[in-house]
Structure 1
């Protein structure tokens, strides 16, 4: 692949885009319905992964800022949002959805600049994020308890009530989309929220909070920026946080569970993955190769459900590998703002260095590098955190590149001899978030879906997620489910009411 068509105009384009989305606007914390700087006045930069230039700065919040945000959320819960009838909450959220849709182009540009994802992908993800908020605003109206048949002299029923203040922590790879997975059910259920976006990509979430002004009651939605030990930790251990939801890597998830245990705070955790994609010998190989490429190279591999292990039957291995490599060659690595780009940079320098390290680990472990593996520049300088789509063949499932979450565009191809070996390899991992199966045999599809230990199994597709389909993990991939109707229950407590009707004469 040639990159010589890309020039220094990329930097000019990005400078212009940054000026457009930041002109006259400061990205501060959002507390009690207005922008706030941190109490200490400290700020930190968020950078454009394609050019390594600073986009803007955000407050470096500390425990005292978290306290202010939680205080505002608690007051809003007790005085306004928590006591609003569900139809009024729904109307307010739908008004917010309308405002977000009117500003979706701006949100997508912010998301692209802040994460490095291609603008077309950012546009799609912003649209989906808004759809999730709308979905929860609508289904909340239909929520109802159950009447319990106990006896003629007793009327018993259940009702569902919000917890109070929900603390939400979202990652850097899909900042707005994953925030919507939590904001939609949390707010629709009647909770107020304090949300901490990732320090590497805080801008789109901050902007949707600003767009809630005069739509949501002050204090309903609060945003605090900062680093995990300075802002995240105080949020997870706060005595006035009644519900926690976190998406991110496993070690942080463990830390959050321990903090939650001290307060007996219920948690939802969506953690890591090392998803297998099993290509059976009867599969449509061209289609399977397309799915495998989309599954590992979309969002530059920075997806918790990425198909990072491609399991291929030995009889079709050679043919499939050529098709897979051809798909990788067709990926256009380039300027995220360019229409033709399908693969952007990694989201941060830290992630860039991590991916490069794992590529070297794969080589040392004896895997065969059949495509990519190089860091590249798309200009005449070394700007940007770009890595080629990479495929390793000859991978054994006990290699580090097969067992550890790389979170980059690095595929490990593993051969299997029969069905039982395929399922055994697929399940021989600490994670269980998602998996994929390529087959034209419905019996194999159903059987594999039953046997694979994962919260989601996609057959002949990748990441077909829509509002209403539960998403979450088995094993070390997490606790709870997002994206579905039942997710409202993650943000509600069930109360049983039992009323004696007295003796009948």
Structure 2
């Protein structure tokens, strides 16, 4: 497609699609083919954000009084719209973000399921009644929405993460200003379109695109913002958390350095498969992705042999290509970062036993492709074992005992997801208690979480205040009043 033919999309403010007041746009590019411009979007400025926040503030007074059954009906209808357009949306998601088409279809379906889940679960949210000694007094609590919520989301799950933030915000009576990643604004816009078509009143959901360096401060520090829910890097999350006012609540889901422990009794074929699925699916660009594999010395060599054999069979290619398991990295900055970490690992003395090269010949020459990398003989103090890489790089660390494995697994500033591969019930019970992680898995990948179960991290992987997903995902968006009524 010629760039002169590229469609320009607008912001969505107060129920109207509008150009930015800046008069400027930016491009979203296909990471599998950097010559393919997906679309252009508004490079918004502070005035655009303020207009969106004002719209959400005005709409709140009416939306909070809207019957919850009507709010639920809108979410349910939007879910149906997503499902009806799932094939089309999956193609757009893959073209814009790069993940395999099958994964894109699952993400669109999951987003519809999330809307439907909160349409039901949100209608059961109630307060409590407390016994007391005064027979002429009733003491209870009521749950109320916060007000205007800023939703800021990343590019790796560009429709499912927004859905799991926006749906609970809306069902509990809040209004929203939504800023998606500038890498994947199109699929985020499709979610907004679905909610608009489903009957969402003007001003309840506002959509503003642009780079965080220009509008990030405005969207979190405005005095009308009562809550900020953010998923992204730990550095950005810490900056947001520190910058908001005392009256602004934050929900931060941040980085990870997730371990998979392989015990001496593990099924090594399964352990390798879990490593491949957790570490290399989505090109390693998942906050819960497996980054460190901590292996008992007695099975280390056999495990590495099995792991490398499985990695060799992974097909690399465009997400549109049948059978492709490893797609491109999201952008040129990601590619540069991953290649730097691969070089750092080698300079630190780790052994690169497979992969790690940028693919530069056809059909990869116009995309951001790199081979999945496996490092062995990794010291747990190395940068590749401590810092979040967010790409297809796995470090294998050898240990002598369960106790050493747990010590190394916990020796990081992150605590998002962790798993162990074993059939020993004693190891399983100890692991659940010993590991410092918000998500704990046994004989499963570190990636993935249920829609109806809480999700979130410990330590610097989260603010550890309010969880996302499940019924717990409603808590962030509501505040509690305690009511005493005397008769």
State the TM-score, normalizing by the size of structure 2.
0.96
Measure, in 1, the Cα distance between the counterparts of 2:126 and 2:364: 60
Is 1:317 paired with 2:300? yes
Measure, in 2, the Cα distance between the counterparts of 1:91 and 1:145: 23
Match of 1:133 in 2: 115
Correspondent of 2:229 among 226, 245, 265: 245
5+ unaligned residues in a row in structure 2: which ranges? none
Q: Deviations over 1:71-129 (max 9, x none)?
A: 111111112x2111211111111111111211112221111111111111111111111
Helix, strand or coil at the partner of 1:376: coil
Correspondent of 2:336 among 344, 349, 353: 353
Asked whether the equivalents of residues 83 and 112 of structure 2 are also in contact (C-alpha less than 8 Å), the reply is: yes
Helix, strand or coil at the partner of 1:345: coil
Correspondent of 1:200 among 183, 191, 195: 183
Correspondent of 1:490 among 464, 470, 476: 476
Measure, in 2, the Cα distance between the counterparts of 1:106 and 1:489: 34
Measure, in 1, the Cα distance between the counterparts of 2:458 and 2:276: 24
Aligned counterparts, 1:142-153, within 5 A: 142-150=124-132, 151-153=134-136
Correspondent of 1:44 among 13, 17, 26: 26
Match of 2:99 in 1: 117
User: How has the CA–CA distance of structure 1 residues 430 and 213 changed in structure 2, closer, same or farther, with 3 Å as cutoff?
Assistant: same
5+ unaligned residues in a row in structure 1: which ranges? 1-14
Is 1:34 paired with 2:16? yes
Helix, strand or coil at the partner of 1:178: helix
Measure, in 1, the Cα distance between the counterparts of 2:363 and 2:395: 31
Match of 2:467 in 1: 481
Match of 2:82 in 1: 100
Helix, strand or coil at the partner of 1:387: coil
Measure, in 2, the Cα distance between the counterparts of 1:95 and 1:247: 26
Is 1:91 paired with 2:73? yes
Asked whether the equivalents of residues 79 and 111 of structure 2 are also in contact (C-alpha less than 8 Å), the reply is: no
Is 1:220 paired with 2:219? no
Q: Give 1:418 shift.
A: 0.4
Match of 1:407 in 2: 390
Match of 1:68 in 2: 51
Q: Deviations over 1:312-365 (max 9, x none)?
A: 000000000011111111111012101210110000100000000000000100
Asked whether the equivalents of residues 96 and 216 of structure 1 are also in contact (C-alpha less than 8 Å), the reply is: no
Asked whether the equivalents of residues 334 and 378 of structure 1 are also in contact (C-alpha less than 8 Å), the reply is: no
User: How has the CA–CA distance of structure 1 residues 380 and 171 changed in structure 2, closer, same or farther, with 3 Å as cutoff?
Assistant: closer
Q: Give 1:212 shift.
A: 2.3
Q: Give 1:26 shift.
A: 3.8
Asked whether the equivalents of residues 74 and 165 of structure 1 are also in contact (C-alpha less than 8 Å), the reply is: yes
Measure, in 1, the Cα distance between the counterparts of 2:433 and 2:193: 45
Q: Give 1:263 shift.
A: 4.3
Helix, strand or coil at the partner of 1:222: strand
Is 1:278 paired with 2:265? no
Is 1:382 paired with 2:368? no
Stretch deviating more after TM superposition (440-449 or 115-124): 440-449
Q: Deviations over 1:173-197 (max 9, x none)?
A: 1111111121121111111111110
Measure, in 2, the Cα distance between the counterparts of 1:423 and 1:98: 45
Match of 2:485 in 1: 499
Match of 1:236 in 2: 220
Measure, in 1, the Cα distance between the counterparts of 2:425 and 2:17: 54
Measure, in 2, the Cα distance between the counterparts of 1:495 and 1:327: 55
Measure, in 2, the Cα distance between the counterparts of 1:419 and 1:385: 39
Q: Deviations over 1:255-276 (max 9, x none)?
A: 101221x243110000000000
Q: Deviations over 1:27-52 (max 9, x none)?
A: 21111122111012110011100000
Please identify runs of 4+ aligned residues in structure 1 that moved more than 4 A: none
- Aligned pair count reads 481
Q: Give 1:378 shift.
A: 5.8
Correspondent of 2:441 among 458, 469, 472: 458
Q: Deviations over 1:241-289 (max 9, x none)?
A: 11110001111111101221x2431100000000000001111111111
Helix, strand or coil at the partner of 1:211: helix
Q: Deviations over 1:468-505 (max 9, x none)?
A: 1111010000122111101101100011111011xxxx
